[in-house]
Structure formats: C-alpha cells, structure tokens
Amino acid sequence: GNSVTQMEGPVTLSEEAFLTINCTYTATGYPSLFWYVQYPGEGLQLLLKATKADDKGSNKGFEATYRKETTSFHLEKGSVQVSDSAVYFCALRDTGFQKLVFGTGTRLLVSP
Amino acid sequence: NAGVTQTPKFRILKIGQSMTLQCAQDMNHNYMYWYRQDPGMGLKLIYYSVGAGITDKGEVPNGYNVSRSTTEDFPLRLELAAPSQTSVYFCASSSPTSGGGDTQYFGPGTRLTVL
C-alpha cells in the first residue's frame, strides 16, 4: 500500500542554521507529493508540492525536489527562523485516489 | 472568504454521549474530508466526500457517521462516544485538479476529550 516515512523529531536548530527533513514514500502509481506545515494551535496548511518526477516545489524559502529514483521528497531551507518552529508533514496522493496519505510529522524547534 | 470553519473548538464528552462536529467551507469545493490526529501521529482519514450526496469511508471510519446534503457542509457524527475517540479532528476541502495535485485546505480543528 501507499505510505510515507519521515524522520523522527524533534529537530532542534539555532536560528540561521540549515534545515533538512527527510521524507521517503512508497506508492503503487505516480503520486503527487506535498509538504504541509502545522503551527501551534492551528490546522495544516500547504507549504509546497510537486506533481511529477524532478519537479521542485518551493515556498517561503523552503524547497523540496521530487526524486523518483530514490522515492524521496526531502524538505530543505538554507536559513531557518524562530517563526519556522512548527510540525511539518510529508504527504502523498497516488494517481486515481482521492486521499492524502500523511507521514507522522516532524517537529522543528528553532531557538534564537 | 472564511475558508474552512469548524465548531466547536473544544468539547468534553462522557462515555456513551453523542455529538456532531460541524464543518463548513465557502470555497465551492466538491471534495471534503474528515481526519483525526492523535498525539505524535500523522492524520488518519475518517470519511470523505466527492460531492453532495456522496460519501465514502477512509482508514478509520468505525464509530463515526457523515452526511453531505450541501456542497458547503460536511458534519461528522459520533453516536456513542468512547475514550478511544479522544483526538483532534480536522475538516478539509479541496477542488479536484488533473494530476492529483490539488491542495487541501484545513479548518482549525476540534479538540475532543471523552471521559
């Protein structure tokens, strides 16, 4: 079946550090891939997405590249800020399915 | 646009009680979803709907019911509350796009505790 595996958190960084959150997936078809972010006390919101192999999604300084050969969609940011502290969810939507499959989430804590 | 709204924000139920979690969206989205989020876990899909009058089960439908009489509203019903239903519930909506890349828009959530 379809599944998403994310690195466990929390990830603790100092402001301006480089961020990588790993995400790998298993899918039967050709999925679209997403990163959602959840700030404290709020619902999830889309951060970025990619719908086919080699696409790069980007938003707010975050980037992720759809790597079909390694079935990965790792999230990166060159310089994190305190305001980036949140839980990040990797998700996929397989071809022909209506449903998103989520990873377990990775909590990011950024200190000044 | 208000986006996706959910009520109530918080609720405490006793075992065996029933309640309805309300969800509404004003974006004219055909697709709507209910998820639950347990501590340290990802989101699990409870039910979803692809249009008014059409609903289908997700991964964890037991103990819940839904209806979709209008495009805007998608209430979730708990008939006999159990402690295992203590969770945060999120409603979401989306509009289908070719290739499956549609964005789901989430409500702020309802935190439910069953004692």
Q: Considering chain A, what is the average pLDDT of its residues?
A: 92
Q: In Å, how far is B32's CA from the nearest CA of chain A?
A: 10
Give the nearest chain B residue to A89 (CA atoms): B42
Q: Round to whole Å and give the CA distance between A104 and B28.
A: 30
- Which residue of chain A comes nearest to B31, CA vs CA? A98
Question: What pLDDT score does A78 carry?
Answer: 97
| Distances from the Cα of A59 to the Cα of A36, B58, B79, angstroms | 11, 30, 41
Shortest CA distance to A75 belongs to which of A43, A51, A108? A108
Residue B1 pLDDT: 75
User: Which residues partner with B88 through β-bridges?
Assistant: B37, B111
Distance CA B17, CA B15 (A): 6
Q: Return the pLDDT at A22.
A: 97
Query: For residues B115 and B83, what is the distance between their CA atoms, to the nearest angstrom?
Result: 6
For residue A111, with 0-12 CB atoms within 10 Å meaning exposed, 13-18 middle and 19 or more buried, which class applies? exposed
> Which of A43, A98, A104 minimises the CB distance to B90?
A43
CB A3 within 8 A of CB A26: yes
Residue A51, token pair as written in the block? 């719908």
Percentage of chain A modeled with pLDDT above 90: 77
Phi, psi of B98 (to 5 degrees): -65, 140
B31 burial via Cβ count (<10 Å: 0-12, 13-18, 19+): buried
Instruction: Kindly tell me if the per-residue pLDDT of A103 is higher than 90.
Output: yes
pLDDT score recorded for residue B103: 85
A-chain residues near B102 (CB < 8 A): 93
| pLDDT > 80? residue A73 | yes
B interface test, pick of A36, A92, A99, A104 with most B CB neighbours within 10 Å:
A99
pLDDT in tens, A28-66: 878 899 999 999 888 899 999 999 899 999 999 999 999
Contacts of B98 (CB under 8 A, 6+ apart): none
Q: Identify the band that residue A81 occupies on the pLDDT scale cut at 50, 70 and 90.
A: very high
Extract the tokens encoding B16. 């065996």
pLDDT at B100: 61
pLDDT recorded at residue A94: 75
A57 inside 8 A of chain B by CB: no
Residue of A nearest to B40 (CA): A104
Most A CBs within 10 A among B10, B106, B110, B111, hence the mutation to make, goes to B106
Across the interface, whether the CB atoms of A94 and B104 are under 8 A apart is answered no
Is the predicted pLDDT of residue B63 greater than 80, yes or no?
Answer: yes
Nearest Cβ partner of A46 from B40, B48, B103? B103
Q: What was the pLDDT predicted at B101? A: 67
Chain B within 8 Å of A1 (Cβ-Cβ)? no
CA distance B111 to A21: 28
Choose the weakest-confidence range: A11-15, A55-59, B38-42: B38-42
Between A94-98, B56-60, B93-97, the lowest mean confidence (pLDDT) is in: A94-98
Secondary structure tally for chain A: helices H, strands E: 0, 12
Q: How far is CA A101 from CA A89, B36, B89, B99, in A?
A: 10, 13, 16, 16
Q: Quick one: pLDDT at residue A36? A: 96
SS3 helix, strand, coil % of chain A, rounded to 5? 5, 50, 45
- Cα–Cα distance list, B17 to B13, B21, B81, B83 (Å): 6, 13, 5, 11
What percentage of residues in chain B have a pLDDT greater than 90?
Answer: 80
